[in-house]
Amino acid sequence: MRKYSVAVLGATGMVGQKFIQILSNHEWFDIKSLVASEKRVGKFYGEEVEWKVSANVPEKVRDIEMLPMDPKKVDADIVFSALPSDTARKVEADFASEGFVVASNASAFRMEKDVPLMIPEVNPEHLGLIEVQKKNRNWDGFIVTNPNCTTIILVLSLKPLMDLGLKRVIVSSMQALSGAGYPGVPSLAIMDNVLPFIKGEEEKVEEEPLKLLGKFNGSEVEYADLTVSASCHRVPVIDGHLEAVWAEFSRDVEVDEVIDAFNSLKPLDLPTSPEKVIIVRKESDRPQPRLDRDEGDGMSITVGRVRKDSSNAIKYLVLGHNTVRGAAGASILNAELMIKEKLI
């Protein structure tokens, strides 16, 4: 397979850096362009970036000169977007209208009716919205989005439960500091503390699963008949979102059949896909962020403490790496699926 040239929008931020870290050794992709804010244009990436995601800036991107957010200046088959949502609304549309494939981590277009909101193991058929989007907007290119980091971790665990008659979910999240970007939360606000509110987070976690778990009817997505109620909290952990989930079903369910359902979610034959999507731990004190967030190179989720609450309800914990499976890795997996489906 030939290598596809890629660009990263918002290359200097936390998620942009994670994109670069993963893409630097990717067998299908070759980083050609890095796009940043106006003040960084013309500067070399390795000299300008405050690198935060590993020990060193990857050698292959050190001497790349950063470009403006102008599609006429960028040459790439695929554009990965780590832009803030307010910026992404215009910039991603500009790139898509000029014929680029945009794989976005931003929230700007997630809930648009003609834009796929994707988790490849959950709703690959939603890529059918691409042709609807191109026709509606008269674009030569298109935008495909991945969900909020907390949503991805939750929905990967919910997908296999849908066939058991899942009807209502209550989730309480304990979210890592890296989800707030850099420099993120002030140290004196989070040390010895838990912040009980993350602006806009609960709305995303309650709304996005309904689209992700819905059915594509050929022209739009019919939202899932499911109720999700969320409480989201910031905790003093660097990486890894841990979520306590209560799931109610339309019938009596047993722990064993729920665990069998978790184990049934199959990985994809794609470079970034983990060998096992959901890892089920039997220990009473797992999952834990420090011990489990890097499973599957950060692309697996880990489920534990699966237990019965009532005849038709189960509760469990689920953990995932928020900047890998919940952000950059999610967009990259979406792009891999689009290549496999010959949409790029």
pLDDT in tens, 227-240: 999 999 999 999 99
Could you give the CA distance from residue 30 to residue 142 in angstroms, rounded to a whole number?
20
Cα–Cα separations (whole angstroms), residue 322 to 147, 284, 333: 11, 23, 14
Angle, in degrees to the nearest 10, between helices 201-212 and 149-158: 40
**Confidence at residue 260, expressed as pLDDT on a 0 to 100 scale:** 98
| pLDDT value, residue 175 | 98
pLDDT value, residue 182: 86
In this predicted structure, the answer to whether residue 206 has a pLDDT above a threshold of 90 is yes
**Mean pLDDT lowest among 3-7, 47-51, 249-253, 291-295:** 47-51
Q: Considering only 43-52, 62-71, 150-159, 266-275, which range has the smallest mean pLDDT?
A: 43-52
Query: What is the pLDDT at residue 54?
Result: 83
- What's the mean per-residue pLDDT of the chain? 97
Residues belonging to the active site: 149, 241
Q: What is the pLDDT of residues 59-117, one digit of tens each?
A: 999 999 999 999 999 999 999 999 999 999 999 999 999 999 999 999 999 999 999 99
pLDDT at 114: 98
Please report, in angstroms and rounded to a whole number, the separation of the first and last CA atoms in the chain.
13
- Phi, psi of 137, deg, nearest 5: -100, -5
Q: For residue 104, what are the β-bridge partners?
A: 81, 145
Hey, which residues does 117 pair with through a beta bridge? 145
Q: Look at residue 1 and tell me whether its pLDDT is greater than 80.
A: no
Q: What is the pLDDT of residue 52?
A: 87
Residue ranges per structural domain of the chain: 4-147+327-340, 149-321
Give the rounded percent of residues in the chain with a pLDDT score beyond 90: 94
Output the DSSP codes for 184-218: -S-HHHHTT--B---TTHHHHHHHHHHHHTSEE-S
Residue 85: its H or E element = helix 85-97
State the pLDDT at residue 48. 85
- 120, 77 contact by CB (below 8 A): no
Task: Quote the CATH superfamily of domain 149-321.
Answer: Dihydrodipicolinate Reductase; domain 2 (3.30.360.10)
User: In this predicted model, what pLDDT tens digit does every residue of 297-310 receive, in sequence order?
Assistant: 999 999 999 999 98
Q: What are 5's strand-pairing partners?
A: 30
Tokens of 14: 């936390």
And the tokens for 247? 């799931």
- Evaluate if residue 130 carries a pLDDT over 80: yes
pLDDT tens per residue across span 315-329: 999 999 999 999 999
Angle 295-209-301 from CA coordinates, rounded to 5°: 5
pLDDT at 55: 81
pLDDT at 247 over 80: yes
Q: What is the pLDDT of residue 157?
A: 98
**298: its two tokens:** 């950060």
Q: 321, 175 in Cβ contact below 8 A?
A: no
Q: Average the pLDDT over 193-198 and give the result.
A: 98
Does residue 224 sit in helix, strand or coil?
A: coil
Please, which pLDDT band fits residue 14 given cuts at 50, 70 and 90? very high
Beta bridge partners of 320: 241, 301
Tokens of residue 278, six digits: 């959901």
Average pLDDT over residues 275-299: 98
Judge contact between 175 and 154, C-beta under 8 A: no
Kindly provide the residue ranges of all beta strands, DSSP E only, lying in 235-338, ordered along the sequence: 241-249, 278-280, 301-310, 313-320
Structural fold of domain 4-147+327-340: Rossmann fold (3.40.50)
- Among 54-68, 125-139, 247-261, the least confident range: 54-68
Reported pTM: 0.97
pLDDT-derived band at 147 (thresholds 50, 70, 90) equals very high
Q: Rounded to 5 degrees, what are φ and ψ at 316?
A: -160, 170
